[in-house]
């Protein structure tokens, strides 16, 4: 098995335009079989997503067992549908990964020439230092230069230039090695995998957004999953901060289930009726009240996250959001009014950049991942 920290080397070594994407979040597990096409949109000919059971309490042991069970079921389905390949890309959302951003600098009195070797050395040194600081057995998913400045000025072509100061903004993500091993063992138990790459969903989504909305350089990206919300701040085209907090769509489902003394499954059907505007007036009023309480909690975390990231700059006016379509209207209503431009990333604004075959259910999360992998 070949573990590659660099997604470019992953695709080059794989030498295969066919791959399986495995998407793992706190609320579901999804998979797609895609064909990469250089200079054209990727083609998706298989998608399957399984929601994870909503429990009264979130227990790590139970979440892990349910996640691995869903991965096993999806792997079996991939084999049945004869979509397997020897190349696998695993994308993790919270809580299965952690991410961080950091600025590292070289500042000298005498001028020096910026080279690829110098930048690689700085990135590698920071990765090694970061691993020492982390407790436990963790695997680095990504360690990327998100932004680069020479003498205080942003540049995308630094090599060969003379500088007295070089600043690199790095984005790094890590995941528990034991969890990755369990996931890979399940997949290897169903078909042979020779090449595996690891990714974090915030970086994947940010990169896909950059490709589609290439004129947008300053925005906030929010991914609302079952149990966790991830936040990424983008300034001048680079991720400058990330955060996550434990409020997702399942918080609303549990609150509705508790209020009506019913099961989470039935409560979720009530939430969908409310979101779609098909609830009775009485049900609509009750869920609106419950949703208001979740909104208050979600906003408190959101404001805390953004205030910790934007310590010296004002919040941008644009926000991108990924969330399951059946509750998208609810969480879009949670977004503060100071964001004058709210863009829900759905199959409608992704289909031009990712072709999904007919009779296959569209999945924006897997479509974003397909767009990203196709661009490498």
Let me know whether 104 and 32 are in one domain: no
Average pLDDT by stretches of 10, the chain with 376 residues: 44 68 97 94 97 91 97 98 95 94 89 91 76 68 86 88 91 93 96 94 95 94 97 90 95 97 96 94 97 98 95 90 95 96 95 95 97 94
Q: Are residues 195 and 65 in the same domain?
A: yes
Angle at CA of residue 89, ends 239 and 217, nearest 5°:
20
pLDDT at 56: 85
Residue 2: helix, strand or coil by DSSP?
strand
SS3 call for 287:
helix
Note down the domain range covering 223: 219-344
Identify which of 124, 112, 126, 103 has the alpha carbon closest to the alpha carbon of residue 165. 112
One domain for residues 201 and 67: yes
Q: If you compute the radius of gyration of the chain from its CA atoms, what whole number of angstroms results?
A: 21
In sequence order, which residues have a C-beta less than 8 Å from that of residue 355 and are 6 or more positions away?
41, 42, 43, 44
Residue 130 pLDDT: 63
**CB of 354 within 8 A of CB of 32?**
no
CA distance 78 to 73: 9
Q: Write the CATH number for 17.
A: 3.30.420.40
Which residues, listed in sequence order, are joined to residue 154 by a DSSP beta bridge?
149
Domain boundary among 173, 204, 229: 173
Please tell me whether residues 264 and 297 are part of one structural domain: yes
- Selection from 217, 239, 219, 233 nearest residue 317 by Cα: 219
Does residue 95 have a cis peptide bond before it, meaning omega lies within 30 degrees of 0?
yes
Question: Tokens at residue 168, please?
Answer: 């690199």
Indicate the number of domains in the chain. Answer: 3
Instruction: Identify the CA nearest to 313 among candidates 246, 234, 372, 375.
Output: 234
**Alpha carbon distance 63, 61 (integer Å):** 6
Report helix, strand or coil for 264: helix
pTM of the model: 0.89
């Amino acid at each position: 098995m070949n573990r590659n920290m660099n997604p470019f080397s992953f695709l080059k070594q794989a030498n295969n335009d066919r791959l399986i994407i495995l998407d793992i979040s706190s609320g579901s597990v999804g998979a797609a079989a895609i064909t990469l096409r250089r200079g054209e949109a990727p083609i998706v000919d298989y998608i399957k997503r399984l929601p994870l059971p909503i429990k009264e309490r979130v227990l790590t042991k139970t979440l892990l067992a349910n996640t691995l069970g869903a991965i096993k079921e999806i792997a079996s389905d991939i084999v049945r549908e004869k979509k397997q390949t020897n190349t696998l890309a695993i994308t993790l959302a919270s809580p299965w990964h952690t991410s961080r951003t950091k600025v590292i600098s070289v500042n000298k009195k005498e001028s020096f020439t910026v080279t690829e070797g110098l930048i690689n050395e700085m990135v590698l040194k920071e990765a090694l230092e970061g691993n020492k600081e982390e407790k436990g057995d963790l695997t680095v998913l990504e360690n990327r230069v998100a932004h680069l400045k020479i003498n205080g000025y942003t540049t995308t072509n630094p090599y060969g230039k003379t500088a007295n100061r070089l600043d690199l903004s790095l984005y790094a993500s890590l995941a528990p090695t034991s969890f990755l091993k369990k996931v890979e063992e399940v997949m290897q138990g169903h078909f042979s995998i020779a090449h595996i790459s690891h990714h974090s969903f915030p970086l994947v989504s940010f990169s896909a957004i950059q490709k589609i909305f290439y004129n947008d350089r300053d925005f906030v990206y929010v991914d609302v999953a079952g149990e966790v919300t991830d936040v990424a701040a983008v300034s001048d085209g680079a991720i400058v901060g990330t955060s996550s907090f434990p409020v997702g769509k399942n918080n609303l489902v549990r609150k509705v289930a508790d209020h009506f003394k019913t099961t989470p499954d039935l409560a979720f059907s009530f939430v969908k009726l409310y979101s779609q505007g098909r609830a009775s007036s009485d049900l609509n009023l009750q869920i609106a009240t419950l949703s208001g309480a979740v909104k208050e909690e979600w906003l408190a975390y959101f404001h805390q996250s953004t205030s910790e990231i934007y310590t010296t700059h004002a919040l941008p006016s644009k926000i991108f959001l990924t969330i399951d379509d059946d509750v998208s209207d609810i969480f879009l209503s949670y977004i503060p009014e100071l964001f004058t431009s709210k863009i829900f990333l759905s199959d409608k604004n992704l289909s031009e950049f990712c072709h999904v075959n007919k009779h296959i259910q569209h999945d924006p999360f897997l479509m974003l991942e397909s767009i990203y992998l196709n661009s490498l």
